[in-house]
């Protein structure tokens, strides 16, 4: 069976903050037997420890986007971002920094889709736009892979850790 592929969609207005300077969303079909919470699905997409790619993402978040990060994973942090909301269908993280503030949200929808939304709020508009012009394409390549990895892990329960 071919694993589901994420696709970029227009971010949904009800979940968007009107003050966001940037927003994107990626959607993926989730299996009917996938009973994981949004938080479990997000954590499964990352894995327990960052690999080389994850360490690069953390370095970019900390040193290029200038986010102040917590531990990679803990009861109140994921990828160094602070958990601000977690219920079965919605998981929201935020990261603050001198250049911008970011918000990631994974939402499980009743129609068996999951949507990963990113929003950025620039503190220093000119500098943040320049930085995001370089980092944005990397984000748009990595973000859908996160939810695809999560979907693959759900489809192969013996591979889940």
Q: Residue 32: what pLDDT? A: 81
Cβ atoms < 10 Å from Cβ of 61: 20
Question: Any idea what DSSP says for residue 63?
Answer: I
Which single residue is written with the structure tokens 């929003």?
119
pTM, to two decimals: 0.91
Q: Residue 1: what pLDDT? A: 59
CB 54 within 8 A of CB 67: no
CB proximity list for 100: less than 8 A, separation 6 or greater = 21, 65, 66, 67, 120, 121, 122, 123, 124, 128, 132
Q: Residue 157: what pLDDT? A: 53
Q: Residue 161: what pLDDT? A: 43
Per residue of the chain (161 residues), what is the pLDDT tens digit?
Answer: 577 899 999 998 777 898 999 999 999 998 888 889 999 999 988 877 667 777 888 899 999 999 999 988 889 999 999 999 999 999 999 999 999 999 999 999 877 899 999 999 999 999 999 999 999 999 999 999 999 988 888 776 554 44
């Amino acid at each position: 069976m071919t694993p589901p592929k994420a696709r970029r969609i227009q971010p949904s207005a009800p979940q968007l903050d009107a003050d966001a300077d940037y927003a994107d969303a990626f959607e993926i079909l989730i299996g009917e037997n996938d009973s994981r919470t949004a938080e479990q699905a997000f954590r499964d997409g990352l894995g327990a420890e960052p690999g080389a790619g994850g360490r690069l993402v953390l370095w970019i978040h900390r040193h290029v986007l200038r986010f102040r990060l917590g531990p990679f994973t803990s009861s109140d942090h994921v990828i160094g971002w602070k958990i601000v909301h977690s219920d079965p269908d919605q998981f929201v993280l935020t990261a603050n920094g001198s250049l911008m503030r970011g918000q990631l949200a994974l939402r499980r929808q009743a129609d068996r889709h999951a949507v990963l939304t990113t929003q950025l709020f620039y503190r220093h508009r000119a500098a943040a736009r320049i930085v995001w012009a370089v980092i944005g394409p990397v984000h748009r390549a990595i973000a859908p892979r996160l939810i695809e990895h999560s979907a693959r892990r759900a489809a192969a329960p013996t591979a889940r850790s």
